[in-house]
Amino acid sequence: MNIGIVCYPTYGGSGVVATELGKALAARGHKIHFITYNRPIRLDLFSENIFYHEVRTKDYPLFDFVPYESALASTMVDVARYHDLDLFHVHYAVPHASVAFLAKQILKDYDRDVPVVTTLHGTDITLVGKNNSYEPVVSFSIDRSDAVTAVSEFLKKATYDNFSVKHDIQVIYNFVDLERFRRQDKDHFRKMLTSGGEKIIIHTSNFRKVKRVQDVMRAFVRIREQIPARLLMVGDGPERHGAEELCRELGTCQDIYFLGNQNMVEEIYSIGDLFMLPSENESFGLAALEAMACGVPVVASNAGGLPELVVDGVTGYTSAIGDVEAMARQALEILAPENWTRFSEAAFSHAQDFAISEIVPQYETLYQQVLNKSFTSVV
């Protein structure tokens, strides 16, 4: 198939999933055309089956806001026409689903019917999309998509709860490349960051408010009172400055490393003893899955779809949002020498259920159904 993938190319789970999906589909022989305003960060390989089309926006003194949607729709139309696309797969509802609807209508003028698959990732539904400024457009574009997927059962339900959407939504979980995300021998790296037997705790995110990065640090302080430990804060975003201030306030800066955005996160996970994700809202938690694939147990909040990934008491623990006492207690239990291997092995084993080989064929089947027009749609 010739597939046009539209996503946000920045650090963020939806862009990562879209890019990894494109790479996996290319490896299975499909031709993948990424249509984005920057090269996606995980697009780090050369493949004869992968093409990148940059959406170029033009600034103009009259515009207070650059018309990204128009530039994207025009690029989608061009790519579909000149590269003979079979379908578009757009990630993140706002504005990609509505732009895809527009592109599809324009293409009809060229006698082309290019179906649209929309994947909902999370904040496009739970935070951004349900805002009054977007809701009618989001509901309309989801319903007009030829197929819709959500990355967890939680997100599917949240979509029906928050929008007047009637379209059938198929849950297709996030997935992980197990060849890349596996525990590697990176002991030299551990030695650089520790002076002896300190446990290494990791948090990775885009440091948005929804990630509650300060909870990670408050739980860490409690853990640190009981056992020697270091905290690696990976990523960057609006809450980073406040987090750095908090570590000064808490007097723990010597044990907390802010590593910023990193491309080779699997190397960091390879030295991890515990991953923490205390989010306010999390439709799936891709970063936690990637850590689990590297044998790192997870302590998370029970928000959103996290309980669909983290098996409480088996691959880690989940607890109420903001309950840093419970998170610290659970972390200490997992990190106890007599428990850690059991949790680590369970985390690794559960991650296998989300392997590319398990999940990517679900998208291929869906594409085929859409192309055969054998899907169930209310529209």
Residues in touch with ligand GMT (CB under 6 A): 12-15, 17, 92, 121-123, 151, 174, 206, 208, 210, 281-286
Least distance in Å: CB of 282 to ligand GMT? 4
* 45 close to 75: Cβ distance less than 8 angstroms: no
Least distance in Å: CB of 98 to ligand GMT? 16
* Nearer residue to ligand GMT within complex by CB, 228 or 238: 238
Least distance in Å: CB of 193 to ligand GMT? 25
Q: Rounded to whole angstroms, how far apart are CA atoms 149 and 363?
A: 9
* Nearer residue to ligand GMT within complex by CB, 206 or 330: 206
Instruction: Count the helix, strand and coil residues of the chain and give each as a percent rounded to the nearest 5.
Output: 45, 15, 40
* Nearer residue to ligand GMT within complex by CB, 44 or 345: 44
Least distance in Å: CB of 350 to ligand GMT? 15
Least distance in Å: CB of 326 to ligand GMT? 21
Q: Which two tokens stand for residue 42?
A: 């995980």
* Nearer residue to ligand GMT within complex by CB, 125 or 332: 125
DSSP SS3 for 191: helix
CA-to-CA dists, residue 328 to 304, 324, 368, angstroms? 21, 6, 47
Least distance in Å: CB of 9 to ligand GMT? 11
Burial class (CB in 10 A: 0-12, 13-18, 19+), 223: buried
For the CA atoms of 315, 351, 121, 55, the dihedral, rounded to the nearest 10 degrees, stands at: 140
DSSP SS3 for 32: strand
* Nearer residue to ligand GMT within complex by CB, 213 or 332: 213
* Nearer residue to ligand GMT within complex by CB, 122 or 295: 122
Least distance in Å: CB of 122 to ligand GMT? 2
Q: Rounded to whole angstroms, how far apart are CA atoms 11 and 23?
A: 17
* Nearer residue to ligand GMT within complex by CB, 114 or 120: 120
Q: Which residue has the tokens 């989010």?
A: 279
Q: Rounded to whole angstroms, how far apart are CA atoms 134 and 317?
A: 35
